Every structure is written in structure tokens, then in C-alpha cells.
Structure 1
Amino acid sequence: MTVGVEEEFLLVDRRTGVPVAPDPHVVEAAMPLPGEQAQTEFFAPQVEVCTRPTATLAVLRSELVLLRKVMAEAAVGEGCLLVATGTPAVPPGRPPTVTPGERYEGMAARWPSLVGRYDGMVCGCHIHVGVIGHAQALALANHMRRWLPTLQAIAANSPFSLGRDTGWASHRSVECARWPGVGPAPLLNEADYERLAGRLVRSGTLLDRRMIYWHARPSEHVPTLKIRVCDVNADLYVVVLLSALVRGLATTLLPDIGNGRPPPAFPTAASTLPTPSLPIAA
């Protein structure tokens, strides 16, 4: 199975560590990268890099090294630093701005209470595994759901937010949960997924299908299952490890799916009380 990674980063002032917003210039400076491997993100002090799909972990690591290097150099050229943390650790001087664009501005207009707060500016590491369609992606998501808290715990990298210790190993998971469409994926087949996705958009619960932010979900633009529970990590080997675990888990579960074995029973929600130094995930 192929695997790919999306990494989101903060741009911060080199002296103060305060998030800053030169991101269109940083992404433009990184444009030697092919295609859409360098992108802006929802808030202006954020950028994203995306690897190409590969079947080799060594190739994945090499590409991650290159993407980080090019984006970090572009950030330095604009007077800031690229930081891999799930939440901003230093309090800002003013609320964040949303990156211009019809979709992001539409989201900001519809959910204004979630915008304008720096603690809502979060950075994840999203891992994709290649599938042959939505049906296989959903089947894998159904079977993988009980393992996602373990992946989240390995990746936890956001204990600090706005100058304080939050008591969470992954405070990003808390902030993400404020958005509609975030949470454990329901058990669905392809037909049920299509009906539910259409209903969520038609009802106005979500702006579009790309706002289905379940912890594991089919991608809407590439043939992959996307795992969304992980914080971005400064340690590149953690990212490679997570990618290996996700792909290994998916590969191990495919025979069960092929043999018609039902997904394991698992509660749809867990305790939401914060536990010091431990991430909480459903």
C-alpha cells in the first residue's frame, strides 16, 4: 500500500516565538516544490507541505526532509521560523487572520465563534494510505477505529497553549473538537456514507464534504484513507514511525475485511475529562 503525509506548521517570529502571518510569501518562496506540495492553511500563520504517495518509507522520509528544508528556508527568508507544534506555545499580540479565499472566508463567516482565537490555530500530521475507493477506505476506517487513540498518544505534541501548560498531552485534539465534523467516524458502508455526507452539506451542518473531519475518513480528492488524529511532530522519525504503523495496520486488516469479518465493537465516545499528561481520544 502507498502512504503519504500532510504536515501543518506554524510560522513564528524569530525573536519572540509569537505566530506571524507572512504565509503567502513563504509559500510563494517555496514554489520550486512541484504541484501543490506547499500550501497555505486556514489561518495565515500556518503552512502545509504534502508528500507524494510512495510505497517505500525511505523515499517518504527523504521527501519529508526536502519539504521541511525548503519550507524552513523560505520562512527564514521572510524573517520567521517554521515550528512543528500542535498548538501555539507563545501568546500572540492579536487574533489570527484567516487566509484569503472563498472557502476559508466562507467557513469563517459561518462559524465566527471558532475564528479569531489563537488557541484554535492547530497543526496536525495527516497520514494517507492508498485504497481502491471509498468502500475500501470506509471498511478500513471501521476496523481501525480502536487503534486510533494509540496513534494519537504516540503523536501527542501540544501540551502548551498560549503560554500555559494545558494538562493535555494533545491540546490540539481539544481545540479540533470545537469544529463541526470532528470526531470518531460512524460505522458506515459506501451507500450510507454518501447519504450522510449529502445530508450534512444540505442541512448546512458542514460547508462542504471536505469538512468531514472524522478521525479516519476517505479523502474527497485522492484515493486514500486519511488518518487525522496525529499532532505535527518536530521529530521526523516519529512521523515515519506513524506512517509505518498506519500502513502496517491497514495491510494487516485487509484480509479480515476480505473475509467478511465485522469490525470490532467499540464505543462511539470516551470520557472527555482531561487527564494530566495523557491525550484523550474517542
Structure 2
Amino acid sequence: MVRTVGVEEELLLVDEVSGEARALSSAVLAIAEKEADGESAFESELHRQQVEFSTHPCASMEELAASVRRWRTEAVRHATEAGASVAALATSPLPVSPTIGTGERYRWLAERFGLTAQEQLTCGCHVHVSVASEEEGVAVLDRIRPWLPVLLALSANSPFWQGQDSRYSSYRGQVWGRWPSAGPADVHGSAEAYHAQVRSLVATGVLRDEGMVYFDARLSHRYPTVEVRIADVCLDPADTVLLATLVRGLVETAARAWRAGEPPGDVSTSLLRVASWQAGRWGLEDRLVHPRTLCPEPASEVLRALLDQVREALEDSGDLADAERALAEVLRRGNGARIQREILARTGSLRDTVAECVRISAG
């Protein structure tokens, strides 16, 4: 049985002329809901300068690619009607004063977390892969941990922050890491232990509920899936499909290892945090911490190691050849962070950078 996969993408609403982020999510969502007759794929997010869509569970990557492109196109159409456009950027390149969304939950977050919540205008991509049980899901989480920073490097798409080059490939990773429950998680060993950890975190009173457990990868509290949350939203929709392909391959590979009785790797959470920092700092431009050797190696070699890790699973699902081509393309042209910097170097304008990214985002 092929595992289903779906993605949630957060998108930035921007002014078509100035490139600045626009607080128009309410208008965009109202248009989307009216056209969808009450069942829209779009949802609000913490800030009114962004919207999120969710694909349905897909059995094939061709189906997922079509769904991602469909909902990005729909987002552009709705935003245009509301007087804006859409960019798949994980942070706003231009200065912005984020506006917290309406709703009691968002008000609670703003009150409890202050500037941390106020500054969280970041856009991620969450990949959901189906699992047969929570026990299998936790076994997968325990075994994919070392590979998650590599996914961050691949997807890195947030080099600019408040009009400046952050010197990071994924500055979103730095901003997101301010949440108290964000980042890598320990090995749990069982579904019972996983849920005990979640209950303990919520019981502190720091977190509002289970939905605020922001691990890099977690059991979804809404669907029977493993949810990998570490990635930036990808600039090019083709990279979203590659990301989802690799995540599904990791989940299937880990589940097979668990069924075969192979234990998870003994990698400390503190080491994974360092590996994630390195991935966010350099993306594909320098060395990454190799998940097997735990030593710095060229990013291209680490990406190829990831492909080797999931090779058998991708062969079985029929995705290997497409994944090899897509990965070679990313290594050739770079991720979103490199593309943004190249556009800025060519145009000298962050406004023009956003405008070109709007075009790329639509595929």
C-alpha cells in the first residue's frame, strides 16, 4: 500500500506594486469561502499578512503536484480580487509591521508570548504522511530525526528580514525557534511515552493545548499522519513536491526499519539542534552535519546521502527517477534563498525581488 501524502503551505500576501506584505487575509478568505460554498482549502494564520492552504491526501506525486499548483493559482486569484498578490516566501524581504489575526486563540498567543508572537510572520510547509497506527508513527518520528535538518537546508527560503540580509538561508528557522516547544524532539520509544511527553508539556501551562507542541516532526493531532514541520515554504512548487517525495520516502524507510527491529540512531537532541542551526545558516551553500557521520560534509553530498537513504522506498513507489531529476535541478540552481539573493544582486531592489518571486511562486 502506498502511503498518502498532503501538504500545508503558508503564503505571504504582498502588494503587487511595492512588494510589501499586506494585511488582507480576512478579505482573501472571505472570497475563497464564498467561491467554495463554505468548504475552502484556505485557512487563516497567526498574522493577517498570510494565508494557508491544505491539499487533500494524495496517493501519487503527480496528484500532489497538480493540487499544489491548483491551490497556489487559486490563492493568486483570490488575492488579486482582494487587491494583493501572493508570494511563497518564508519571510518578508521588505520591512513589515505584522498584524495579529482576529480570534480568541490568536489574542491569547499575542498576550502570552508578546514580541515573540508579534514577530512570527513566517511561512512554513508542513508535510503529512499517513501511518497505520500511532505506534508506527512514533517509531517513524524516532528514526527520521537526524534527517530533518537536511530538509530545512533543501527548503531554505528566508534570507531577508526587515529589509536586511540576515546572513542565514533560513532566518525563519531562527524566528520560529523562539517558541518554547519548537525544535527537535527526543526519542520517545512508544506512543504512550510520546503522549505522556505532550501531556507534560501542556500541563506546565506554558502551552495552550496540544496544537502548540511545535516539534520539527510530530503526530498530527487532527489526522492519522506524521507531520514534518521543519521546512520553509518553498519558492518553486516543484521543490514542494520534491520535499514531499523525500518525506514520504523517509517515513516509509523508517517504518520498514522499525518492523525489522532496527533501533533508532543514538543522536542527542542538542546535537540535532546544532545541525538544524547549520542547515538554517548555510542552506545548500556550505557544509551540513551529515546524519550518519555527524561531521560536516558538503551539502551536495549530504543531499545525495538523503536520496540514498530513501532509495528503496522511492523505487517501490515509482518516484526515484523524478526525485533524482528534481534534486539535481535544485543542486544546480539552488534553493529559494539562493534564488532570492541572485535576483537582488541582479536588480538591486528588494521590491523587484518580491515581484519576481511572485511569478516563480505561481509555477
When the two structures are superposed, what TM-score results if normalisation uses the length of structure 1? 0.93
SS of 1:229's partner is strand
Give the CA RMSD over aligned residues.
Answer: 1.9
Distance 1:100 1:176 in 2: 21
| CA deviation map 1:151-182 (0-9, x unaligned) | 11111111111111111111110000001210
**Structure 1 residue 121: Cα displacement:** 0.8
Residue identity in the other structure for 2:177: A
In the alignment, is the contact (CA less than 8 A) between 1:185 and 1:214 conserved in 2? Answer: yes
Distance 2:283 2:246 in 1: 20
Matches within 5 A, 1:1-282: 1-31=3-33, 32-33=35-36, 35-92=39-96, 95-117=97-119, 120-188=120-188, 189-270=190-271, 271=274, 272=277, 277-278=282-283
Classify the secondary structure of the residue corresponding to 1:8: strand
Q: Measure how far apart 1:274 and its partner are.
A: 9.0
Note the C-alpha offset of 1:36: 4.7
Deviation at 1:275, TM superposition (A): 8.0
Identify unmatched segments of 5+ residues in structure 1: none
Residue 211 of structure 1 and its aligned partner are, at CA, apart by 0.6
- Structure 1 residue 209, shift from structure 2 partner: 0.3
What is the DSSP-based 3-state SS (H/G/I as helix, E as strand, rest coil) of the residue aligned with 1:52? coil
* Bigger radius of gyration among the two: 2
The whole-number CA distance in structure 2 between the counterparts of 1:155 and 1:178 is: 20
CA contact (8 A) 2:109 2:117 kept: no
CA separation of 1:253/1:73 partners in 2, compared to 1, >3 Å: closer, same or farther?
same
Answer yes or no: is the 8 Å Cα contact 1:167–1:275 preserved in 2.
no
Query: Which secondary structure state, in structure 2, belongs to the residue aligned with residue 135 of structure 1?
Result: helix
Once residues 266 and 110 of structure 2 are traced to their aligned partners in structure 1, the CA distance between those partners, rounded to angstroms, is 37
Distance 1:241 1:273, change over 3 A: closer
**Displacement, 1:101?**
1.1
Whole-Å separation in 1 of the counterparts to 2:74 and 2:64: 16
| More moved, 62-71 vs 99-108 | 99-108
Shift of 1:201: 1.2
Deviations along 1:111-170, one digit per CA (max 9) or x if unpaired, are 1131333xx310001101001232221110110011111111111111111111111111
**Separation in structure 1 between the aligned mates of residue 242 and residue 98 of structure 2, nearest angstrom:** 32
Question: Residues 276 and 144 (structure 1 numbering): CA distance in 2 closer, same or farther, change over 3 Å?
Answer: closer
Q: Tell me if the contact between 2:173 and 2:280 (Cα under 8 Å) persists in the aligned partners.
A: no
> SS in structure 2 opposite 1:39?
strand
In the alignment, the residues of structure 2 paired with residue 275 and residue 84 of structure 1 have an alpha-carbon distance, to the nearest angstrom, of 17
- Cα deviation, 1:20-66, whole Å, max 9, x if unaligned, reads 11101101212234735111101111100100001111111111111
Q: What is the CA–CA distance in structure 2 between the aligned matches of 1:253 and 1:133, rounded to whole Å?
A: 14
Tell whether the 8 Å contact from 1:139 to 1:257 is kept in structure 2 after alignment.
yes
SS of match in other structure, 1:183? coil
Secondary structure of the 2:270 match is coil
- Residue 36 to residue 260, structure 1, CA distance change in 2 (3 Å): farther
| 8 A Cα contact 1:22 1:78, kept in partner | yes
Going from structure 1 to structure 2, the CA distance change for 1:36 and 1:263 (only over 3 Å counts) comes to farther
One-letter code of the match for 1:63? S
Say whether the 8 Å CA contact 1:27–1:71 is kept in structure 2. no
**In structure 1, how many angstroms separate the alpha carbons of the residues matched to 2:40 and 2:250?**
28
- Aligned to 2:14, what secondary structure does the other structure show? strand
Q: Is the 8 A contact 2:32 2:40 kept in 1?
A: no
What are the superposed Cα offsets for residues 224-243 of structure 1, whole Å, 9 maximum, x if unpaired? 00001111112111000111
2:344 — aligned with what? Answer: none
Query: Among the aligned pairs, what percent are the same residue?
Result: 35
How many residue pairs match? The answer is 278
CA separation in 2, counterparts of 1:14 and 1:133?
45
> CA 1:6/1:237 → structure 2, altered by over 3 Å: closer, same or farther?
same
CA contact (8 A) 1:22 1:45 kept: yes
User: What one-letter code is carried by the residue in structure 1 that aligns with 2:163?
Assistant: G
Q: Which AA in structure 2 matches 1:8?
A: E
